[in-house]
Amino acid sequence: MPCAEGSETCGKNGMLMKKRVLIVDDSTLVHEIFGSILTEAGFEVLHAEDGLKAINTAFSEMPDLILLDVWMPKINGYQVCRLLKDHSATKDIPVVIITSQEKKGFVADPRKWSFQTGANGYLSKEESERLIPTVQIFLAGDRVREKPHGYYEPMTENEILSALSRLLDKQLYVDVTRLKELDERKNAFVANVSHEFKSPLAIIQGFLENLNDGFYGPVSDPQKEVIQIGLKTAKRLNRLVHDMLDLSQIEAGKMKMANEKVDLADVVKSVAESFSVETGRKKMAVHLEIEPGELALWGDKDRLTQVVINLFSNAVKYTPEEKSITVRISREADRIRMEIEDTGPGIPPENLEKIFDKFERLEAERQEGTGLGLPIARDIVKLHGGRMRVESEVGKGSKFIVLLPVGVAAA
CB of 234 or CB of 355, closer to ligand ADP: 355
The reply on whether position 260 binds ligand ADP by CB under 6 A is no
Q: Which residue in the set 361, 384, 402, 404 belongs to the binding site for ligand ADP (CB under 6 A)?
A: 361
β pairing state of 65-69 and 95-99: parallel
Shortest distance in whole angstroms from residue 285 CB to ligand ADP: 16
**62-91: which residues touch ligand ADP (CB under 6 A)?**
none
Should residue 246 be labelled a site residue for ligand ADP when binding is judged by CB under 6 A?
Answer: no
Q: Produce one character per residue of 114-151: b if its CB has 16 or more CB atoms within 10 Å, e if not.
A: beebebbbbbebeeeeebbebbbebbeeeeebeeeeee
Least distance (Å) between residue 196 CB and ligand ADP: 23
Nearer to ligand ADP among residue 82 and residue 399 (C-beta): 399
Q: How far is the CB of 243 from ligand ADP (least distance, A)?
A: 8
Q: Closest-CB residue for ligand ADP?
A: 369
Within positions 182 to 201, which residues make up the interface with ligand ADP, using CB under 6 A?
none
Question: By C-beta, is 94 or 345 nearer to ligand ADP?
Answer: 345
Nearer to ligand ADP, 227 or 255 (CB): 255
- Per DSSP bridges, beta strands 397-405 and 335-342 are antiparallel
What is the rounded CA–CA span in Å between residue 214 and residue 224? 10
Q: Per-residue DSSP letters for 359-408?
A: T--SSTTTS---S-HHHHHHHHHHHTT-EEEEEEETTTEEEEEEEEE---
Q: How far does CA 260 lie from the centroid of its chain?
A: 35
**Which of 79/314 has CB closer to ligand ADP?**
314
User: By C-beta, is 145 or 328 nearer to ligand ADP?
Assistant: 328
For residues 343 and 381, the answer to whether their CB atoms sit within 8 Å is no
CB of 81 or CB of 338, closer to ligand ADP: 338
Which string of x and - marks every residue 364-393 that binds ligand ADP (by CB under 6 A)?
-----xxxxxx-------------------
Task: Give the shortest CB-304-to-ligand ADP separation in angstroms.
Answer: 16
Burial class (CB in 10 A: 0-12, 13-18, 19+), 341: buried
Residue 249 or 314 with smaller CB distance to ligand ADP: 314
Region of 74 on the Ramachandran plot (φ > 0 left; ψ -120 to 50 alpha; else beta): left
Does 118 contact ligand ADP by CB under 6 A? no
Asked if 398 is part of the footprint of ligand ADP (rule: CB under 6 A), the reply reads yes
CB atoms within 10 A of CB 327: 24
Rounded least distance, CB 372 to ligand ADP, Å: 6
Q: Which residues contact 226 (CB under 8 A, 6 or more apart)?
A: none
Q: Which residues contact 116 (CB under 8 A, 6 or more apart)?
A: none
Contact 76, 70 (CB under 8 A): yes
Q: Can you tell me whether residue 255 is helix, strand or coil? A: coil
Instruction: By CB under 6 A, tell whether 241 contacts ligand ADP.
Output: no
Rounded least distance, CB 121 to ligand ADP, Å: 46
How many residues sit in the footprint of ligand ADP (CB under 6 A)? 20
To ligand ADP, the closest distance from the beta carbon of 354 in angstroms equals 8
Closer residue to ligand ADP, CB minimum distance, 26 or 339:
339
d(Cα 95, Cα 81) in Å, to the nearest integer? 7
CB nearer to ligand ADP: give 119 or 347. 347
> CA angle, 275 as apex, 273 and 280 as ends, to 5°?
100
Residue 69 CA to residue 75 CA, distance in Å, equals: 11
Tell me which residues in 279-318 interact with ligand ADP (CB under 6 A).
Answer: 310, 314-315, 318
Nearest in space to 98 (alpha carbons), one of 38, 142, 44: 38
Q: Rule CB under 6 A: which of 339-358 touch ligand ADP?
A: 342, 344-345, 347, 355
Give the binding site for ligand ADP (CB under 6 A).
310, 314-315, 318, 342, 344-345, 347, 355, 360-363, 369-374, 398
